[in-house]
Amino acid sequence: MSEIETFYDVMRRQGITRRSFMKYCSLTAAALGLSPSFVPKIAHAMENKPRTPVIWVHGLECTCCSESFIRSAHPLAKDVVLSMISLDYDDTLMAAAGHAAEAAFEETIEKYRGNYILAVEGNPPLNEDGMYCITGGKPFVEKLRHAAKDAKAIISWGACASYGCVQAAKPNPTQATPVHKVITDKPIIKVPGCPPIAEVMTGVITYMLTFDRLPELDRQGRPAMFYSQRIHDKCYRRPHFDAGQFVEAWDDENARKGYCLYKMGCKGPTTYNACSTVRWNEGVSFPIQSGHGCIGCSEDGFWDQGSFYDRVTDLTQFGVEANADKIGIAATGVVGAGVAAHAAVTALKAAQRKTQTRTEKEEA
């Protein structure tokens, strides 16, 4: 007990309330699948380590990733910025501008060579010599390369940095290019989503600070702890899918009963993300819970997979799992990803027969 109280005193001096700190520790431990005995270890790391310098740069983007980041409830964004990392450059939030901002950028690279994390929001356009995104009079891609050179690791925030996102949707007029296609000699952690969930973003950072290593990544470079299962696998409406109970039209009787949104185009069966478990904005809801299907925003190229209201059309007679696992294994290589054994095979087949007949007709 005394150890915990000592630790609590330290955190109180930093102005963090006991409530918010303990909530953070236990939720972090739970999110990482650790036993409660790890909670003091997390606390110890926070107590003793100097804050890790972070350079956060912005390319072509909409700033939704920054907005999501500041929504984090555990830990609170203010605690991350004041007590965990040293956000030495972030043009969206920093006080300095122009020359003073550029100086902060260079000083951080110089002082922490090889020891800072580079967080990238957005991506560089390569057409027009990179001048579709100009910063300090130069193409953003130059700044990205410069900052990447001496970074310890790179975090690709969101769909833009990870995959290209909306500006890279066809015909990609600016040749917006994901980070890993420009920077090829550094460890890159992709945290996809448009935007990623706030607590996933702060979870990835605090994991690295706490355990002093990069999270385990799948073959696409995403943290396995948050992106190895489909939204469909953990969706609370899954029993309605298995039972063949579907919303047939917006605001129909079935919608009001919270039935499955598969027929309304939900991309949950092919989307790897933590929405149905971590959920959004402190667990208040997630898209499916609020009545709209998943649009698949954490998947590569989700803008160019047909309408968001088209039914997932590549489901075959082998069943959702078999097909989605193939998608999963081909895309991620994570063994066991998306495997959700359940007994309702009969109901499932019935549901699929019902739901696919029309789709196949439409496709034909």
Partner 1 sequence: MATTPNGFDLDDSGRRIVVDPVTRIEGHMRCEVNVDDDGVIRNAVSTGTMWRGLEVILKGRDPRDAWAFAERVCGVCTGTHALTSVRAVEDALKIDIPDNANSIRNLMQLALHIHDHVVHFYHLHALDWVNPVNALRADPKATSELQQAVSPSHPMSSPGYFRDVQNRLKKFVESGQLGLFKNGYWDNPAYKLSAEADLMATTHYLEALDLQKEIVKIHTIFGGKNPHPNWLVGGVPCPINVHSTGAVGAINIERLNLVETIIKQTTDFCRNVYIPDVQAIGGFYKSWLYGGGISSQSVLSYGDIPEHPNDFSAGQLHLPRGAIINGNLNEVHDVDIRNPDEIQEFVDHSWYTYGEPGKGLHPWDGDTSPKFELGPNAKGTKTNIKQLDEAGKYSWIKAPRWRGHPMEVGPLARYIVGYAAGHEDIKNQVDGFLRTMDLPFDAVFSTLGRTAARALESEYQCRLMTHFMNKLITNIKNGDENTANVAKWDPSTWPKEVKGVGVTEAPRGALGHWIKIKDGRIENYQAVVPTTWNGSPRDTQGNIGAFEASLMNTPMERPEEPVEILRTLHSFDPCLACSTHVMSPDGDELSTVKVR
Query: Is residue 153 at the binding interface for partner 1, with CB under 8 A as the rule?
Result: no
The response to whether 65 counts as a known ligand-binding position is: yes
Task: Report the C-alpha gap between 79 and 15 in whole angstroms.
Answer: 9
Q: Which stretch binds partner 1 (CB under 8 A): 29-37, 205-213, 286-294, 334-342?
A: 286-294
The CA–CA distances, whole Å, from 70 to 196, 212, 283, 318 equal 12, 23, 15, 43
Q: Which among 230, 228, 206 has a CA at the least distance from the CA of 219?
A: 228
Shortest reach from residue 339's CB to partner 1, in Å:
26
Interface residue with partner 1 among 18, 23, 41, 51 (CB under 8 A) is 51
CA–CA gap between residue 271 and residue 163 (Å, rounded): 14
What is the Cα–Cα distance from 36 to 51, expressed in whole angstroms?
Answer: 24
70 forms part of the interface with partner 1 (CB under 8 A): yes
Separation of alpha carbons 230 and 189, rounded Å:
19
Binding residue (CB under 8 A) for partner 1 from 32, 82, 331, 339: 82
3-state DSSP assignment of residue 230: strand
Residue 139's DSSP bridge partners are 134
232 has binding-site annotation = yes
103 binds partner 1, rule: CB under 8 A: yes
d(CA 125, CA 139): 9
Contacting partner 1 (CB under 8 A), which of 46, 117, 288, 351?
288
Choosing from 166, 182, 209, 339, the residue that interacts with partner 1 (CB under 8 A) is 166
Q: Using the rule CB under 8 A, is 318 a contact of partner 1?
A: no
Print the binding letters for residues 203-242 with partner 1: x by CB under 8 A, - otherwise.
----------------------------------x-----
Exactly one of 258, 301, 344, 347 binds partner 1 (CB under 8 A); which one?
258
Contact residues for 201 (Cβ-Cβ < 8 A; gap 6+): 65, 68, 69, 72, 157, 191, 195
> Was 294 annotated as part of a binding site?
yes
Which DSSP state fits 165?
Answer: T
46, 60, 200, 208: which one binds partner 1 (CB under 8 A): 60
Give bridge partners of residue 54 from the DSSP assignment: 87, 117
297 binds partner 1 per the rule CB under 8 A: yes
Instruction: Pick the piece of the chain touching partner 1 (CB under 8 A) from 179-187, 217-225, 290-298, 320-328.
Output: 290-298
Rounded Cα distance, 21 and 171, in Å: 46
Q: Does 99 bind partner 1 (CB under 8 A)?
A: yes
Is 362 a residue that touches partner 1 (CB under 8 A)? no
Which residue in the set 5, 9, 128, 360 belongs to the binding site for partner 1 (CB under 8 A)?
128
Check whether 64 is labelled as a binding-site residue: no
88 binds partner 1 (CB under 8 A): yes
Token couple for 316? 């075959």
352 binds partner 1 (CB under 8 A): no
The reply to whether 266 sits in an annotated binding site is yes
Per DSSP, the residues of 54-95 read EEEEE-BS-SHHHHHHTT-BTTBHHHIIIIIEEEEEETTT-S
Q: Considering only residues 2, 37, 184, 290, which one is a binding residue for partner 1 as defined by CB under 8 A?
A: 290
Q: Name the binding residues for [3Fe-4S] cluster.
A: 275, 294, 297
Binding site residue list? 62, 65, 160, 194, 232, 235, 260, 266, 275, 294, 297
